[in-house]
């Protein structure tokens, strides 16, 4: 795989297959999500471009990073997935955003939380555990608790703790402002902001939290 001026990658993914999860109905639109390698590993090489003194990059000037048994997640999502009021006269989607979190645990399992705050209140989503042998346990519509909020210099607020309990299983994802990066995106007449954060979990795992909210049509929405 090659993304010009971003990276080149030659990786082999291995591990047990995971499985499909339940569809999530999100403000009247249905999104399907498949986690096919939730507990896999990657081996090979990734090359990143060298940054020049003027913050530019020169095509072909890369430095390699060896990848040995990195935790990986291969997933796909399809269906309707739109934020904002619908650009250029397209049908309204009016989604607020979503929270996604995933950790890779010492016992070889991985936990994921994929949940949507609905426009008119409440949550829809999926909580899964993919075990080391590739089997998947899932729970529909967990309602997370977002806490310890932080506001970045651009005015976007995001939680540094995300906890959830579903069918007797509890997960707590924690991060910090130092472990996070906020990106702002404008799409046609609307936009969104995303806080991408490294995280640890109460199971001793390491992973990520992605907190995305519409910041266009609806304004900055926590």
- The DSSP-derived string for 48-110 is EEEEPTTS-EEEEEEEEEEEEEEEE--EEEEE----BS-GGGPPP--B-EEEEEEEE-TTS-E
| 219 pLDDT more than 50 | no
DSSP code, position 219: -
Q: Which residues contact 3 (CB under 8 A, 6 or more apart)?
A: none
Question: What's the mean pLDDT in 139-145?
Answer: 81
Using CA atoms, how far residue 119 sits from 97, 98, 146, 195, in Å, is 9, 11, 17, 20
DSSP code, position 167: T
**Domains of the chain (ranges, CATH numbers):** 2-214 (2.40.370.10)
The pLDDT, as a whole number, for residue 127 is 84
List phi, psi (to 5°) of 88: 55, 40
Per-residue pLDDT of 28-46, as tens digits, reads 667 676 665 566 788 999 8
The pLDDT, as a whole number, for residue 158 is 94
The distance of Cα 201 from the centroid of its chain, to the nearest Å, equals: 15
**128 pLDDT band (50/70/90 cuts)?**
confident
Cα distance between residue 110 and residue 71, in whole Å: 10
Residue 35 CB neighbours (<10 A): 25
Cα distance between residue 146 and residue 4, in whole Å: 37
Percentage of the chain modeled with pLDDT above 90: 18
Please report which helix (H) or strand (E) contains residue 184, including its range.
Answer: strand 180-187
Cα distance between residue 31 and residue 95, in whole Å: 12
The answer to whether the beta carbons of residues 130 and 38 sit under 8 Å apart is: yes
Give the pairing of strands 7-14 and 40-51. antiparallel
The answer to whether the beta carbons of residues 109 and 103 sit under 8 Å apart is: no
First to last CA, the chain: 36
The pLDDT, as a whole number, for residue 3 is 63
Pairwise pLDDT comparison (192 vs 153), residue with the higher score: 153
Phi-psi region of 216 (alpha: psi -120 to 50; beta: other; left: phi over 0): alpha
């Amino acid at each position: 795989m090659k993304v010009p001026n971003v990276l080149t990658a030659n990786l082999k993914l291995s591990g047990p297959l995971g499985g499909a999860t339940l569809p999530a109905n999100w403000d009247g639109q249905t999104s399907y999500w498949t986690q096919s390698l939730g507990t896999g590993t990657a081996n090979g090489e990734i090359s990143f471009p060298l940054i020049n003194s003027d913050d530019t990059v020169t095509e072909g000037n890369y430095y390699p990073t060896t990848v040995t048994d990195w935790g990986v997640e291969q997933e796909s999502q399809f269906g309707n997935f739109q934020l904002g009021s619908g650009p250029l006269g397209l049908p309204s989607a009016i989604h607020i955003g979503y929270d996604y979190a995933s950790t890779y645990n010492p016992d070889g399992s991985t936990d994921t939380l994929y949940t949507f705050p609905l426009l008119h209140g409440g949550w829809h989503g999926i909580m899964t555990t993919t075990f080391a042998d590739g089997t998947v346990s899932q729970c529909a519509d967990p309602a997370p608790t977002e806490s310890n909020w932080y506001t970045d210099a651009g005015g976007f607020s995001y939680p540094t703790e995300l906890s959830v309990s579903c069918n007797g299983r509890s997960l707590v994802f924690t991060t910090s402002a130092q472990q996070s990066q906020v990106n702002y995106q404008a799409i046609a007449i609307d936009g969104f902001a995303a806080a991408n954060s490294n995280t640890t979990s109460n199971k001793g795992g390491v992973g990520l939290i992605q907190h995305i909210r519409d910041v266009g049509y609806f304004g900055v929405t926590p």
